[in-house]
Amino acid sequence: MVTKQTITAPAMLGMLGGGQLGRFFVIAAHELGYQVTVLDPDKNSPAGKIADVHLCANYDDEAALKQMAETCQAVTTEFENVPANTLEKLALTTTVRPSAACVAVAQHRVLEKTFIKESGLPVAPFAVINIAADLPDDASTLYPAILKVARFGYDGKGQARVKNQAEAQQAFAEFKQEICVLEQMLLLDLEVSVVLARDATGNIATFPTAENSHLNGILDMSIVPARCSEVLKANAQMLAKKLAEKLDYVGVLGVEFFVVKNQLLVNEIAPRPHNSGHYTIDACVTNQFEQQVRVMTGLPLGDASLHSDAVMVNILGDSWFANSAEGKTVALEPAWNKALSHPNLKLHLYGKHEPRKARKMGHFTVIDKKLESALNVALIARSELNIG
């Protein structure tokens, strides 16, 4: 593995992935004076559109990886499903953060759950399902449960709620008998997350704990600071730090938690900036994407403290569609003017060329000195933009 000490601007940095997380990274890198090469197979990728170089190729394309290795001083990723081999190959000649080993853990639920459990961190009861015979019978305390595919599941995809063995067998068959995790379904008090940055010498900067709510398996809203006890918020940050240290993680890491009977359980990890950390763009001294740039270039971590309370709301492609009086679906442009009439609302659209239902098209964040005021405005704007 190649590691450079400090990489100074205007060096070229590499980003694997061209979605909205990559786009915000490009913006942060440009603000610090760096250039960015984005590798993404989509010619319309939001990050590729604003990058200095867009390599429109697959993540295992030899020529593209050769160019990235030769021109980029450091490389990172915006999503966990980039092939680990790609990261390993790039790491032979350039700095790669986070490492292929860390990404490999996060991109496979079995490795992820097992690592969390073996690290002594609390996790929901689960069973690894390699073949149909591994599915427990109806007497198992795991039921009711959620069957989750081990790879490529996100935003509620690749998951099925099952009440018994028969339903689990049917879902397993529908998942084409891919390796899965069967996880006990829990009655949640709430869900929270912590985003942190850890540098190569082990320094950690932790963003405030966020309270999250989901709609159809996709993050809908993040409230910061989370409306729970100070002890719970501090414990979430402590567990997230412990996990980063156990992984020997270098980069920006998102850790999601379930809260059950006032106890924290680690749900999953993301080896990158996180959707629930978008509030940091407008509400923190340093945002999660600037931290990503700082970590990969060896710069000191920025101040992660909150300067305003915040409520972040995702804007999905559904907001571009409505039902007519005749019951037909019609296309429309969301009422941006109404949302922007709130002076403390910050709108971020991702530049995606086509709205589709359930596709993340943007988000807005309302900041205020009082959390209740921010939440009230966010709920009004959410309605104005036809969200939910």
Q: Please provide the size of the chain in residues.
A: 388
Do 311 and 332 have their domain in common? yes
Query: Residue 66: which domain range?
Result: 12-96
Instruction: Identify which of 167, 217, 160 has the alpha carbon closest to the alpha carbon of residue 183.
Output: 160
Element counts in the chain: helices (H) and strands (E): 12, 20
24 assigned to some structural domain: yes
Do 73 and 172 have their domain in common? no
103-126 burial by CB neighbour count: b if 16+ within 10 A, else e? bbbbbbbbebbbbbeeeebebbeb
- Note the pLDDT of residue 155: 60
- Note the pLDDT of residue 388: 78
Q: Beta strand 263-270 with 251-260: parallel, antiparallel or unpaired?
A: antiparallel
Do 144 and 253 have their domain in common? no
**For residue 203, what is the DSSP state?**
-
Do 177 and 199 have their domain in common? no
Query: Along the 388 residues of the chain, how does pLDDT read in single tens digits?
Result: 666 689 999 999 999 999 999 999 999 999 999 999 999 999 999 999 999 999 999 999 999 999 999 999 999 999 888 888 899 999 999 999 999 999 999 999 999 999 999 999 999 999 999 999 999 999 999 999 999 999 876 666 789 999 999 999 999 999 998 999 999 999 999 999 999 999 999 999 999 999 999 998 899 999 999 999 999 999 999 999 999 999 999 999 999 999 999 999 999 999 999 999 999 999 999 999 999 999 999 999 999 999 999 999 999 999 999 776 666 777 889 999 999 999 999 999 999 999 999 999 999 999 999 999 999 999 999 999 999 7
**Which residue bears the tokens 């900036």?**
273
207-232 burial by CB neighbour count: b if 16+ within 10 A, else e? bbbbbbeeeeebbbbbbbbbebeeeb
The answer for residues whose C-beta is within 8 angstroms of residue 365's C-beta and 6 or more apart is 278, 279, 281, 282, 283, 310, 311, 312, 313, 345, 346, 348
**Which residue bears the tokens 């959390």?**
371
Do 297 and 240 have their domain in common? yes
Of 168, 184, 200, the last residue of a domain is 184
Q: Beta strand 190-198 with 251-260: parallel, antiparallel or unpaired?
A: antiparallel
Do 292 and 331 have their domain in common? yes
3-class state of residue 197 by DSSP: strand
Do 68 and 137 have their domain in common? no
Do 29 and 57 have their domain in common? yes
- Note the pLDDT of residue 332: 86
Q: Which amino acid is at 71?
A: T
Q: Which amino acid is at 354?
A: E
What helix, strand, coil percent values describe the chain, rounded to 5?
30, 30, 40
- Note the pLDDT of residue 156: 63
371 assigned to some structural domain: yes
Q: Report the number of distinct structural domains present in the chain.
A: 3
Torsional sign, CA 266, 268, 272, 276: negative
Cβ–Cβ under 8 Å, residues 313 and 364: yes
